[in-house]
Every structure is written in C-alpha cells, then in structure tokens.
Structure 1
C-alpha cells in the first residue's frame, strides 16, 4: 500500500468542538491521506521500489574543511537533492505504517477484545503520531524545494562558467552564445509545489449561502461559535427566536462573545456585560455612558429545512437558499457533525461514490447494506 498527503484550507469549520474558543482565527489545515492497498501478503513491486531506496549519505564524498570548486559544489547540491528525496520517502512510509496501525485498531475482531476507552487511547496516540508525521512531510517538502533552488542556482553558475570558457576559445560563436545565455539568464523556477500556508480565498467565494449549524443545536439560550473565511463568528437566537450571526469579538475590549451568555435574546459579553442584538447593535453598556451607534459586524442569517445559513460576502445575498432536502423516496436517518482531515474535493467525490459503502463501512453506517 502507499499513502500520499496534501493540504488545503476550507472556508468554514466548527470553532473548536472540545474548546469553546480558538484563538487566532479559523485557519484549519486539512490533510489528505489516501491509502491504496493490494491483497494481503502480496507485495506490490511498484511500492517496494518506491521505498527501497538507499540512504545516499554513505556515497557522498567528504569535503569537511575544504574549499570547493564550482563543480564540487554542484555535486554536493545534487547529493542534497538525493538525501531530501530519500528522507521524504521515509516520511511517507511512516505515514503508511501508521495508517496500517489505525486499520488494525479499528478491526472489528480487535474491538471484541478491547474496551472503548482502550481503543480511544490507542487512536488518540496514533492521531498524534500521524499529525507529527504529516508535519514532517511538509518540512521535507520545503527542504526539497530549497534544495531544488540551490541546485538550479549552482547549475546556472556552472553554465555561466562554461560559457565564459567557451567564449575565450570560440570568440566567433556569437549566435549560439547569445541564444544559450538567453536561456541561462532566465530566473530558475521551482519545480515542486510546496503545501504550506494557503493562498487567500477568492473574494467571490464569500458570496454564497453556507450551512453552518443544525437548527436543533441552536437553543434559545445557547451560542454556537464558528470560523468562516479566517474570521470568528457566533450564532445565537434573538428575542423573536430567529437566528443571528455576529462577529465573535466584543467592540469594547475584544473579548470572545461566545464565552458569555444569551440574555433576553441578546448576547452578553462576559467581560463587562455589553449586550448585542442579532443585527450587531450594542443595546446595553453597564457601568458605561451609553455610546451611540456602537455595532459589531453581523451577517445575513436564515433558518431553513433544519439548517442555519449565513452569507459571508459583501454582495447582496441571493433571495433563494439552496435546498438540502433528500430527493423523493429517500429519508434522513441521522444528522452528524464531523470535522474530517480531508480535502473537500476528495470528500465530495467519495460521498458520491456510494458503491464502496457495503464493502468499506460494514462495521459502521453501512452495516447490512445490500450491494447495489
């Protein structure tokens, strides 16, 4: 089997299922892990060749304390690339082995001999190891990218030196020299895309309705903090029972509002008791002279078909909300909130592929499903 990893940031996520407040915004890096396996006990020659790579450090010449000429420096840069490649393969191999351990822990036969508490502890430890392994993969990617830049720079120096020597011996080769130098003087380009900080979202992505919470989770006296496009927001119900979404930051001292409470349809800051309605207007300032027109940003927020929807864009919201009702002949069996470490495109592709469920999810939601 082989595992591959990538990263992407999604626009919306729960603002901490175990912690009430997540400091520093909503950037959530989601790793993609795809595991492709063959028959047990049968070695895949392609996979074997992928990881059966010798550590190149044993073959590298020792240059400690020596001044290197340009060709020796180029040789060192090439060995650096080989080492980074070897290290990246080891990182991916570690992720693959950890995923095999996860599969073993989740094996239905193993669950019969272990308590739920033991399984949770084992999965938590494996999750931590996977997180560290994924971080190491990103570090290796960055090192490979830097090594590629160094190698490209060294090759440019070597080519310049070669051209200079060629010009001395062949002064009449103006045409070929001019053509070659044109290619060399171009800035070297990275040939590896490094998964690191995600680029800013396109502004047009904000101008859509997004479902962010189930109606059943938003009681009259509760708040639901969320992160949307790198910004913290909080949902609560006003005095009329309709949902509202305001910036999760008090206009007074920037305290997270979701740490407070809902008082008569207004969200109350836990620091000085300032209260805000669902339109973001501050309607109460205890121990403070009432200031006029104090507001925090509020988003258009509506409730439809058991979901809470928000419009985070600056354009006027669309009058029609998408429908999430199942097609005729289907019914909703459960409402589940999950934060998955997966790229959104792969997730959608997987959810559309229901044919795999009777074979892959036999011990969970697809238990007893017939083969389509």
Structure 2
C-alpha cells in the first residue's frame, strides 16, 4: 500500500497497521546538532531509535561512517553501539541503587574497562557537566535537572562518537530546561560531538541551533536551519508550525547586514571618504584592510571635522564594535540600538556588511506577499523573512 502511494491514515484504516516512517532520506554531518522534531506521533523518536536499531527498520539503509548498521549481526551491532552511540533518555534512566559515579561509569563497566580508568573517565564527565561534589550521591538525592546532567555525563563518559538524545529535557521545568540547553551548547563547543536531538518544541530547536528535520505522519516535510524554515516554509503545515516564532530569535546578523554599505580603506583621503559617503548618509562606516578584514570604523563627526588631505587611518576608531555573522539578533539588539553602526564579520574577521537599527527594522517589517509569504526585498542587504 505504501508503494501505491497510500498515506498513513488510509493504511491504518484499511488494515490496522501503523506506518512509523516512510521515504526518510537525509544526512547528519559530523560535529553538528541535528534536531528531529514534530508533534506527537510524527515518528521522530522512532527514527532516532532506528539509527542504533533499538527499533528495527523493515526496509532501507542506515549508514554510519561507511558502515551499514542494518546489516550488522547481533554481536557486531552491540560492539558498534558501544563504540559509536551514546543515548540520553527523556526520563534519565539512572539506576537507583547506584551512586552518580557508578551510574556515569556504567557504560564503561559494561565494556570491562578497568576500575581506575573508568573512575577517572566518569569523574571527568561529571566535572564537565557541573556535578563535581555530587558523585557519591544517589539519584533520588538530586534534582531533576541534576539527574539529567548525570544521564548526559554517562553518555559523555563512554566517549561515543554520536549522542542520541530522545526528548532529553522535556521532563524538566522551563528554567532548568533552558539552563540545560545552554549547557549542551557550551559542551558542544568543547567536544564537537555529533548529536541527534529529538524535540517537539520549536523554541528548543532554535535555542540549540543547527539544522532541523521537521516531520509529520512519519515523513520528513522540511529540512533546514531554523531561519530557513521560518522564512521559507515548504508547506502549509510547516507555516502553521512556525507561525508563533519571533523572527528576532531566528534571524542572524549576516542575514540582515547591509552588504552594500559604504566601506572605507585606511589610505583613502578624507576628501575621498566624504565623496564616497555623501550620497549614503550614516553615522559611522567600517574600515577594512587589503584582505577585507575589519580594522576599525570612522565616525561621521570625525570625518566632518578633519582636513580634506588627511587619511582615513588617522581618524580610525579602533573599537569597531564587531559581531560575528552567525550571532542571532535577539542577543544583539542592545548593541545595535546603542551604536551608530556595527560591523558584521565572518569567522576570519572579514567584513560581511554593516548593521544598523534601520536594517533590523527593515528586516522585521519585510512586506508580506499573498498567502502570508514574504516577498524578497530588492535590496541585497535584506533577505526574505516572515514577520
């Protein structure tokens, strides 16, 4: 029936069988956080558990680092799981009769790692998640957030290549949940693990960053970065799913930066700089070197008061208020509001564009086209976004 194009509901009505997943195809990049999300029953947890064959797929292939997991025998699969996969569950899954240290080292114990070695690895993981001093306690003596940290430490201690996290923070209170999301982001900066994270909460997916695989009825309906999904929903379902999201929480500085803004060079004369900026206006302009790296800015007041024969280098404000292009707007609004212009740069320090309060307002006020979709603004500084 699947091969004939029948949908999940039709198949369930016809023969009582539930289609868990169908036509799933995507790649997970090494070192990224990929979020599988959708409403209850969308198939996200089933998909996660297919990756390490806790759920057996009836067809298809799952390839991890060149190995087809679906072809592994039982012993090979167990060895492969121990090497490649760490799993963090929604309800902690800590053993109540073991201390936190013993829980965290449990995976290593299964691998027959010597006591001294596994204790050292477990303590390193405990310290990494901020539980040092609690290693001799039992799970019931810890708060929910601390128990979840212990579950994460257990996965980290095993030093698996890939972390599978199944709604790992959904049982936590909202404040603790946000703390754990921030904790995971910080850990990812240090460890660069490959993480597949299941969530039904779009706000959580945005907070974690990285790509989203959005699912419905066992199928993938869209894959992309949060800002791509919010700006360009592929279906009406996706559009409804993301309609509550605040644009400021998903837009990045590089998407809003004015790439056509005036850029000055240090050896330009004041007269040349005035000519370049006269028709554009503004309160400050970035200055770049020959490699395109931002080295400062010149304020309008300094340019107006200088001699025409001076060079831009002599007027340079060495505090250019630089921000990385990947930074989200919700953390930048204060700086953008207080500065004449902010230089947006790539990871190598090369200028992407200039960002002002006006650019932000223009992006958020991007005009809506028919059907609620955003029309692309003709200016290269702006991209299509949803307001």
TM range (shorter): under 0.3
TM-score, structure 1 length as denominator?
Answer: 0.24
TM-score (norm 2): 0.23
